[in-house]
Chains A and B, each alone.
Chain A
Amino acid sequence: MANLKDVLVIGAGLAGLTAAWQAAGPDKKVQVLAKGWGATHWHSGCIDLLGYWPLDADAAVTNPLQAIAQLIQEKPQHPYALTGLDNIVAALSAFQDLCAEAGYPLEGTPEKNWLLPTAVGTFRPTCLAPQTMTAGDLSSDAAMLLVGFKQFVDFYPHVAADNLTQQGIPAEYVMLDLPALARQHRLTSVVLANMMEQAAFRQEVAQALKPKLGTAARVGFPAVLGLREATAVWQAMSDLLERPVFEIPTLPPSVAGIRLHHILRDAIQAEGGWVFDGMEAVGAEKDGGRVTAVFTETAARNRAHRAENYVLSTGGILGGGIYASYQGGVKEVVFDLPVNAPDNHLDWFHTDFMDKRGHPIYQTGISVNEQFQPVNGSEQPLLSNLFAAGTTLAHCEPIQERSFEGIALVTGYVAGRLAV
């Protein structure tokens, strides 16, 4: 095989991109296959490490690392238990370094959670947040003004302001209708973020806002303050308004998440790696306890991709890595790996829809050993050159735990290093 890669990563969410970034290097050929754009465009652009533990606790976790130590005691199969605390600290720190080098610093430490506002004005515990967001921290009750744009219909500052005020954070809102935005009835978050990178437009925004600032000690925007130049845009807006400015992550697609996608993609490509978009892995060839090829679906036929090692990071049921049928069957889509799921369809759900523990089906996933190799019952790997990372892993509840990005980042970091 003349064209053999060193590592083939399947899936381009945070886990897959992190694994590829860690695996790529001057003498390591790494390729990422992406079915589409997913996880990074859906998430907040923050790294949630652990927000709630135990799951039915009333208050959010304040020190995630401490809470994880407790979680590891109680759930020895949890992905965090397999990575260990040292890897968690190392992965977060490496990612902070990467983002800082890209001019987009993430603030925070694994020993403290921020409490940041959501787009509807609820409180959101998160561990690492971009510098552009942290002035919104709700441990301070400094009054805020929330800014909306009439043509950006997916952000409702009045709802957020109302909810925050009711929870003790004085918040007002303003809806801007600017001449520069009148060219279209509706604008997407990305278009707005690109406009924000123009100084003249920022001036127009600031001019319109200044008379409305009132007693606001800080100003909140939807997370559209720039796409490639976010930190500079945020700094410029803070200067223009002469007070702290912060972003609030929007409904998907989230510009803050897209920024992380760009940073990781750039890092992979800078090391000579490839990211192939729109290629769906549909099957694999196995021989002698090893993966010998992964097939992607193309127009008219399947294409084989061959590598020394493979990383599976296709996500869970939501991400498409695991298919759950209406009849109750659950299947891993690329390698047909054994999936950890309730045997009986009736056991998928608790009776209470909003049950704080989540539902058993949400913990569906692939069991792995400490080397992140898929296993079935024993520590013996099923396929010796296959590693799994991210929310395709079993024994965790990323949404209820508020650990989605944390699990993706930390397991991607570990799996990427193991795969080279």
Chain B
Amino acid sequence: MTFNIWGAQTDIELMPHRPAEASLDECIKCNICVTACPVTAVTDLFPGPKYEGPQAARFRQGQQETPDYSVDYCSGCRVCNMVCPNGVRIAEMNARARATIVEQDKVPLKHKVRNNLIARPETLGKLGQPVYPISNFLLGSGFGRYFADLFFDIAPKAALPGYASEKFSKWAKKHEKPAQAQRKVVYFHGCSTEYYEPRVGKAAVHVLEANGFEVLIPPQNCCGLPLLSNGEFDAAQKYHESNIKKLIDYVKQGYVIVGTSTSCTLTLKEEAPELLSFYTDDAMLLAGNTFDFNEFLVHLLDAGELRTADLRPIPLTLAYHPPCQYRAHRIGFPALEVLDLIPELTIIKSEAACCGVGGTYGYKAEKYEISMEVGRPLFEFVHEVNGPVAVCDSETCRWHIAGATGVPNVHPVELLAAAYGYEVEGPLADVLR
């Protein structure tokens, strides 16, 4: 299959799909995943991917009572999938097993309420952003966090993002489009850019425009990933169906979707269809035409169509942590290929398995300590590199790493935008000033 880079592929070949559990027979019990699992390494509460995935999956047939609640301690980082020599879909098995626990009503009420709260960034954004001074005050106060812990078991020390004073989509409406763009692309901003870090979306729009694109920003919903990783599959499917409705016409007109949130794009590409067994033609058409932002830029680079000639030097040495979702995208480290183009910028890649946060995992009181312990090697690495900012593509990872290290985190696109001469906002602006 070849790509016309910025043109959507509308004749997607529908591959036969098999459920993740069908791969369990390919497990040869070599234990590489157990040794690589960052959660198993720090706690007995999660015995290991091999046990929770391909082994326990044998006992999760049909309507049987689910055998082992420890699967809820899987953080979904997918190190197991990456290291498996035989392609067993362990993390997906675990996610589906968690959904069965939810479906069988085995989650304590307090946690069920909590999970449904923190897994709805769109709702939280709609409620919290318009009154951002109040929400930010509450979220930042020991008082507010004490009650969040008391009522919902939300870890009092977990790093929560602050609401932005202006939504990204509001900025986008005011933003003046360049006059003569030859090509168009759809931008999926996700909830984090919309409500918490519009600066990432602004940088993304600038980078795309600098490459001759007109950026379309249609109305869109939460991708549903936080719900998927909390086992709330029905609610997640509603979001996914709504996104398909809102985006599919753009694809059919020939435009591809790009997103700066590695988790949102992963959900549109694979997580939602696979976990929900939701393989409609439209779902697959959307999946086949959704790109991670850096993946898209590397496609342009491969085709010799990325603007690289006049990048301004950024004389910094920065730590970069490839977020776990890239493992599931299975596209390598496209951000490194992109950042490599910026003169004088030295990027040191983290070899740490995971930052620990696992989306909403690290916000949960019972899992917070695990998430900090899992992230410890990464935090030490960030301190060692000692840059003024650290770099990571995924929002929850950025917040977690920044919270744990005190080093502000930025998205790679912010660096590229700065190299194109765009005046970035936030922590990078302070550094470059």
Name A residues whose Cβ lies closer than 8 Å to a Cβ of B: 1-3, 35-38, 41-42, 154, 184-186, 188-191, 251-253, 274, 276-280, 296-304, 306, 319-320
Main secondary structure of the interface of A (DSSP, over half): loop
Q: Identify the stretch in B82-90, B120-128, B205-213, B413-421 within 8 Å (CB) of chain A at 4 or more residues.
A: B82-90
Which of these, B40, B81, B331, B337, contacts A298 with CB under 8 Å? B331
The interface residues of chain A lying within 8 Å CB-to-CB of B1 are 301-302
Q: Across the interface, do A36 and B87 meet the contact criterion of CB distance under 8 Å?
A: yes
Out of B41, B84, B287, name the residue touching A300 (CB < 8 Å).
B287
Scan residues 19-74 of chain B and give those whose CB is less than 8 A from a CB of chain A: 30-32, 34-36, 40-41, 43-44, 47-48
Structural contact, B86 and A300, CB atoms closer than 8 A: no
The chain B residue sitting closest to A193, CB to CB, is: B35
* Inter-chain contact B31/A298, CB cutoff 8 Å: no
Other-chain contact of B31, A2, A252, A306 (Cβ < 8 Å)? A252
Of A37, A297, A306, which one neighbours B83 at CB under 8 angstroms? A37
18 contacts between A and B (CB under 8 A): A2-B302, A35-B85, A36-B82, A36-B83, A36-B84, A42-B30, A184-B43, A188-B34, A188-B35, A189-B35, A253-B34, A278-B330, A280-B87, A299-B266, A299-B329, A301-B9, A303-B331, A306-B302
| Contact A190 B330, beta carbon cutoff 8 Å | no
Cross-interface CB contact of B330 among A2, A298, A319, cutoff 8 Å: A298
**Set of chain A residues within 8 Å of B337, measured between Cβ atoms:** 3
Residues of A within 8 A of B329 (CB): 298-299
Give the residue name and chain of the B residue nearest to A194 (CB). B41
Smallest beta-carbon distance A150→chain B, Å: 14
Q: Is the CB of B270 within 8 A of A300?
A: yes
In the docked arrangement, what's the CA distance between A42 and B31, Å?
A: 10
Query: Using Cβ atoms and an 8 Å threshold, which residues of chain B touch A298?
Result: 329-331
Min CB gap B147→A, angstroms? 32
Supply 19 further A-B pairs (C-beta < 8 A) apart from A296-B330, A301-B1, A320-B86.
A2-B301, A3-B301, A36-B32, A36-B84, A154-B31, A186-B44, A186-B47, A188-B35, A188-B48, A190-B35, A252-B32, A253-B31, A253-B32, A276-B333, A278-B83, A280-B330, A300-B288, A301-B288, A304-B2
> Which of B43, B48, B301, B302 has the most A CB atoms < 10 Å from its CB?
B302
Q: Is the CB of B302 within 8 A of A1?
A: yes
B332 touching A279 by the CB < 8 A rule?
yes
A360 to chain B, nearest CB (A): 22
Residues in chain A near residue B306, CB distance under 8 A: 2
Write the nearest CB–CB distance from A366 to chain B, whole angstroms: 19
Q: How far is the CA of A378 from the CA of B36 in the complex (A)?
A: 44
Interchain pairs with CB closer than 8 A, number: 105
Of all chain A residues, the one with the shortest Cβ separation from B13 is A301
Contact flags (1/0) for B68-103 with A, using CB distance below 8 Å?
000000000000011111110000000000000000
Chain B contacts of A154 at CB under 8 A?
A: 31
Interface size on B, residues (CB 8 A): 42
What is the chain A residue whose CB lies nearest that of B47?
A: A186
B298 close to A (CB within 8 Å):
yes
Task: Say whether A36 contacts B302, CB under 8 Å.
Answer: no
CA distance A301 to B14 in the complex (A): 11
- Docked complex Cα distance between A276 and B31 (Å): 21
A306 neighbours in B (Cβ, 8 Å): 302
Q: Does B290 contact A (CB under 8 A)?
A: yes
- Output the least CB separation between A183 and chain B (Å): 8
Cβ–Cβ < 8 Å partners of A41 in chain B: 30, 32, 35, 83
Complex CA distance for A306 and B333, rounded to whole angstroms: 16
Among A253, A274, A279, A304, contact of B30 (Cβ-Cβ < 8 Å): A253
Q: A86 → chain B, closest Cβ, in Å?
A: 33
Asked if B113 is at the interface (CB within 8 A of a chain A CB), the reply is no
Q: Does B252 contact A (CB under 8 A)?
A: no
For A38, the chain B residues whose CB sits under 8 A away are 32, 85
CB distance from A417 to the nearest CB of B (A): 25
Chain A residues, Cβ within 8 Å of B32: 36-38, 41-42, 252-253
Q: From residue A315, how far is it (CB to closest CB) to chain B in Å? A: 9
Which residues of chain A come closer than 8 Å to B85, judged between CB atoms?
Answer: 35-38, 319-320
What is the chain B residue whose CB lies nearest that of A303?
B331
Given contacts A2-B302, A190-B35, whether A300 and B290 have CB atoms under 8 Å apart is yes
Interface: B327 (CB within 8 A): yes
Nearest neighbor of A251 in chain B, beta-carbon distance: B31
| Contact of A185 with B327 at beta-carbon distance under 8 Å, contacts A35-B87, A299-B266, A300-B269 already known | no
Report A-chain residues with C-beta under 8 Å of the C-beta of B327: 277-278
- B333-344 near A? 1/0 per residue, CB < 8 Å: 100010000000
Scan B168-203; emit 1 where CB is below 8 A from any A CB, else 0.
000000000000000000000000000000000000
Which residues B131-183 have CB closer than 8 A to chain A? none
Which residue of chain B has the shortest Cβ distance to A278 in the bound complex? B82
Contact flag A299-B47 (CB < 8 Å), given A188-B40, A253-B32: no
Q: Tell whether B328 is near chain A: CB-to-CB under 8 Å.
A: yes
Asked if A299 contacts B270 (CB within 8 A), the reply is yes
Separation of A303 and B298 alpha carbons in the complex (Å): 11
Q: Which residue of B lies closest to A37 (CB)?
A: B83
Q: Give the contacts of B338-365 with A (CB-CB under 8 A).
A: none
Which residues on the A side are within 8 Å of B87 (C-beta)? Answer: 35-36, 280
CA distance in complex: A312, B95 (Å): 34
Q: How far is the CB of A28 from chain B (nearest CB, A)?
A: 16
Q: Which residues of A contact B36 (CB under 8 A)?
A: 37, 190, 253
Q: Is A3 a contact of B302 with CB atoms below 8 Å?
A: yes
* B219 in contact (CB, < 8 A): no
B303 contacts the other chain (CB 8 A): yes
Which A residues are CB-close (under 8 A) to B108? none
**Which single member of B35, B44, B266, B328 contacts A184 (CB below 8 Å)?**
B44
